[in-house]
Structure formats: structure tokens, C-alpha cells
Amino acid sequence: MIGSYVPYKPAIFIDAGIHAREWIAPAVALYIISKLITEYGKNPNITHMVDTFDWYIVPVANPDGYEYSMTTDRLWRKTRSRNITVNKWCVGADANRNWGYRWGGLF
């Protein structure tokens, strides 16, 4: 654990790499993690931020799509999950919009 224990601290949540082809976001998330770890106790601003907030950082929220965009299709944006549609298989979903609320339902 880095930082001091404070019950019920406010949280900072950072997710990156939701869209597979947006490669800079995971690099920035990893940079933030690195700075929080290496500067804690040295930089008073970083130390204060770590002590004040609970940090939740997801560097690559769509690892399958991210890898696919790196190796196969540079402009691939979605996940690599398989979805059954009316007539065929459809690969991928937009992870930035595919949440549980009424997913797959009729509106």
C-alpha cells in the first residue's frame, strides 16, 4: 500500500484503452501510475494526492481489441467479443456504450 490510511477517501477512477485504436490513453494511464509510485514521498503534490484519494486505474480496459488493433487492423475500435445478430455473427461491441442497462432488449 502506498500512502496513509484515511477511511472513506474520495476516489479517482481512470480508465483507458476502451477504444482499441486509441493507443495513447493506455500509455498516459501507465505514466500516471509510474508518477504516483515513484514521486510519492518526494513530491509534496503527489504525496498529498495519494494520501487524499483512493486511486483506481485501469490502463487497458479493452485488451483484446487493443492487441488486435496493434497486430491486425490498425483502425479496429471495438472489443473482440462475438455477438449473434439476426442473420450472422457480429464481432465486437463498443465498450464505451455497451453497458448492462437494457442491453439486448427491445425499446
Q: What is the pLDDT of residues 59-103, one digit of tens each?
A: 999 999 999 999 999 999 898 887 766 566 678 888 887 666 655
Q: How confident is the model at residue 18 (pLDDT cuts 50, 70, 90)?
A: very high
Instruction: Check residue 83 and give its pLDDT.
Output: 72
Instruction: Check residue 93 and give its pLDDT.
Output: 81
In a domain? residue 80 = yes
In a domain? residue 102 = no
Total domains in the chain come to 1
DSSP string, 39-58: HTTTSHHHHHHHHHSEEEEE
In a domain? residue 37 = yes
Q: Are 51 and 1 in contact (CB under 8 A)?
A: no
Instruction: Check residue 91 and give its pLDDT.
Output: 82
Count CB-CB contacts under 10 A for residue 98: 15
Give pTM, 2 decimals: 0.77
82 lies in which domain range? 11-91
In a domain? residue 105 = no
Instruction: Check residue 101 and give its pLDDT.
Output: 62
Please state whether beta strands 82-84 and 89-91 pair in parallel, antiparallel, or not at all (unpaired). antiparallel
In a domain? residue 103 = no
In a domain? residue 96 = no
Distance CA(23)–CA(14), nearest Å, equals: 15
Cell numbers placing 83: 455477438
In a domain? residue 106 = no
Task: Look at the block and give the residue holding cell 445478430.
Answer: 85
pLDDT exceeding 90 applies to what percent of the chain?
63
Range 47-51 contact pairs with CB under 8 angstroms and sequence separation of 24 or more: 47/3, 50/2, 50/3, 51/3, 51/4, 51/6
In a domain? residue 97 = no
